[in-house]
Amino acid sequence: MLDKIVYAGTMSRSFEQASKDLRKLAEVEVPTKQVERVCQRIGNERVEERDEAVKAFQELPLTERKQTPAGVTAPDLAVVGCDGGRLQILERTGAAVEAEEAAAADEGRRGKHWREDKIGVLQTMQSTVADRDPCPEIPETFVDPTRILKLARELKKQAAPSEEAAKETSEPEASVEALAENPVVYEPPEVLEKRFVGSRVRWPAFGPILATMAWQWGFFGAARKAFVGDGSENNWTIWRNYFSSFVPILDFIHALSYVFAAAMAGRKFADGWSIYEQWIRWVWQGEVAQVIAALAQRQLELGTPQEQDGDTSPRQIVVQALTYLQNHQSQMKYAEYRQQGLPITSSHVESAVKQFNQRVKGTEKFWSEDGAEAILHLRADHLSAEEPLTEFWQTRQAQQTGQRPYRKAA
Q: How far apart are CA 71 and CA 215, in angstroms?
A: 12
User: Which pLDDT value is given to residue 75?
Assistant: 96
179: DSSP letter: H
User: Which pLDDT value is given to residue 135?
Assistant: 95
C-alpha distance from residue 179 to each of 140, 194, 240, 257, 274 (Å): 9, 21, 29, 16, 21
User: Which pLDDT value is given to residue 377?
Assistant: 97
Q: 335, 136 in Cβ contact below 8 A?
A: yes
Beta strands 114-126 and 77-88, pairing class? antiparallel
C-alpha distance from residue 410 to each of 27, 28, 29, 299, 319 (Å): 8, 9, 9, 72, 66
Q: 115, 107 in Cβ contact below 8 A?
A: yes
Closest C-alpha among 406, 346, 350, 358 to residue 382 = 358
* Per-position pLDDT tens, the chain of length 410: 889 999 999 999 999 999 999 999 988 999 999 999 999 999 999 999 999 999 999 999 999 998 999 999 999 999 999 999 999 999 766 555 555 555 555 555 456 899 999 999 999 999 999 999 999 999 998 999 988 888 777 765 434 333 333 333 444 454 445 544 545 567 899 999 999 999 999 999 999 999 999 999 999 999 999 999 999 999 999 999 999 999 999 999 999 999 999 999 999 999 999 999 999 999 999 999 999 999 999 999 999 888 888 888 999 999 999 999 999 999 999 999 999 999 999 999 999 999 999 999 998 899 999 999 999 999 999 999 888 888 898 888 877 755 554 544 54
User: Which pLDDT value is given to residue 12?
Assistant: 95
User: Which pLDDT value is given to residue 146?
Assistant: 86
> Cα 244 from chain centroid?
18
